[in-house]
Structure 1
């Protein structure tokens, strides 16, 4: 980190994948995300070095936005000035015309997308992006559960980043220097093409293991998440209390059927598989010989305490609503 607080070099940042609980490496910038997000994979940010965010599960937000406290850094000539709008969003008033001549000519990313779609003879409905029309946009989908495909631009090199979300899960992500690729991706995404079809037609797009599980249904997502959580516990031998908690919770059928995630080592259990979660109960492991703690959700007030992981799990089960079944697809919203 430089003396003025700006990142001094470009590095991937470890974070928990949005609404996945998977340990991934993701680099966040002023409205752009890296092109590849894979479980425990390294993400490169294509030359951006604006501001990097460490985030745990419930602190993660969708790729089209940054937390309100994160201020985008100026970094080189690509983006000349940022202004904070009344809505609280940061927007840039200039764009590098050498990198993005079509944006400079059209006046915005949204307008450039619409013009190119017309030239290609395809229908495209462009909606506002999270960082203003100049550098961000969304491409609407006709499939109800799919959110608009989020599109952002790179700052120091030419690339367009995209991210597609459905039912609280990021299904596709990628980057390309070709705006026509973005238009084609927006059309295919909007038509409801499958992940396999999207990747086959547009090789710059990628999907995570969790996105693939989402395609198979909520039971597959829950099963994957528990496998990853148990792997995470096995990789933390210096914190056996966490491992004991994960295994004790996995033995209990009612908890095993819920979507499990962790936040600062506290296990949360959701009745839906998408973010934001529907928190039903949470359990914090023992620290330094202290008790295990049962909470309504991670970082909430303590409901009860127990001496062992098994006792804490039993107490947590009593807090579950009667008749609560396995986790379902969707979000708490």
Structure 2
């Protein structure tokens, strides 16, 4: 997908746009005609002014992009910083129905039932149920992905205070967040396996020169102990939402 598709190519794939309309404008018209009192906004990136649009709510967002190789409305459904579902369709009417359903607060199951082009996975269902933290740990404990150090995962999972946080990987580095949505919090040390040892650092935002070293140890248990000893005072179980929702988070000040 490229945002600079020629006007004539867009008009060929999307007659609704013609040579001058934008996805935002045609979606706004269609949404209002369908009886939904929603405002359609342009995609934030300037280069997508014709090919992207979004609908924002208090906690939910629907993003729509146009395909370029063939006619396709690419739709992503987000809630509180989590990609909950996505789908692709050639029908503008189907997009409008999905936007109306999602922004009205429907469940994933009902969204899928009403809009068969939409799909979602088990982790999204866990976010909906409110047990995303345990589901994420389970994914990492059972994954065959080569970038996941299972001894490190088990050592972290054995610590109740870390087990209550939301784990995520950035390349090889194991991170812990006090919220379950992106952007995550970055006020907890991270662990990076390196040549048989484990490097513990603060996230790079703590230092203008990159990650600030805390220490390098030889075992997962020792690495986890370093992290636990530096947990913030307000480090309770991870909550639904994003770092921006946690007003008292040092990572957002």
Match of 1:111 in 2: 25
Q: Distance in 2 between matches of 1:106 and 1:198?
A: 32
**Residue 179 (structure 2) pairs with residue 266 (structure 1):** no
Q: For the Cα contact (< 8 Å) 2:10–2:19, is it kept in 1?
A: no
Match of 2:250 in 1: none
Q: Distance in 2 between matches of 1:122 and 1:305?
A: 56
Q: Distance in 2 between matches of 1:325 and 1:229?
A: 21
Alignment equivalent of 1:146, drawn from 51, 60, 68: 60
Q: Distance in 2 between matches of 1:306 and 1:116?
A: 59
Match of 2:68 in 1: 155
Match of 2:201 in 1: 295
Question: How far did 1:139 drift?
Answer: 2.4
> Superposition RMSD on alpha carbons, in Å?
2.2
What's the TM-score, normalizing by structure 2?
0.85
Q: For the Cα contact (< 8 Å) 1:136–1:150, is it kept in 2?
A: yes
Counterpart secondary structure, 1:211? helix
Match of 1:125 in 2: 39
Q: For the Cα contact (< 8 Å) 1:124–1:186, is it kept in 2?
A: no
Alignment equivalent of 1:310, drawn from 221, 224, 237: 221
Deviations 1:291-324 (CA, angstroms, capped at 9, x unpaired): 3111123772221122211111111100101352
Question: How far did 1:118 drift?
Answer: 4.3
What's the TM-score, normalizing by structure 1?
0.65
Q: Distance in 1 between matches of 2:97 and 2:36?
A: 9
**Residue 240 (structure 2) pairs with residue 329 (structure 1):** yes
- Greater CA deviation, 301-310 or 125-134? 125-134
Q: Distance in 1 between matches of 2:22 and 2:215?
A: 54
**Residue 132 (structure 2) pairs with residue 221 (structure 1):** yes
Q: How does 1:190-205 map to 2 (within 5 A)?
A: 190-205=103-118
Counterpart secondary structure, 2:87? strand
Q: Distance in 1 between matches of 2:213 and 2:151?
A: 20
Q: Structure 1, unaligned stretches of length 5 or more?
A: 1-28, 31-71, 81-92
Q: Structure 2, unaligned stretches of length 5 or more?
A: 205-209, 245-253
Q: Distance in 1 between matches of 2:82 and 2:231?
A: 24
**Residue 191 (structure 2) pairs with residue 283 (structure 1):** yes
Match of 1:64 in 2: none
Counterpart secondary structure, 1:285? strand
Pair 1:166–1:235, CA change in 2 (3 A): closer
Question: How far did 1:285 drift?
Answer: 1.6
Match of 1:255 in 2: 162
The structure with more helix, counted as a fraction of residues: 2
Deviations 1:76-96 (CA, angstroms, capped at 9, x unpaired): xxx22xxxxxxxxxxxx5543
Pair 1:321–1:176, CA change in 2 (3 A): same
Question: How far did 1:259 drift?
Answer: 0.7
Question: How far did 1:119 drift?
Answer: 4.1
How many residue pairs get aligned? The number is 236
Counterpart secondary structure, 1:98? helix
Q: Distance in 1 between matches of 2:108 and 2:236?
A: 28
Counterpart secondary structure, 1:215? helix
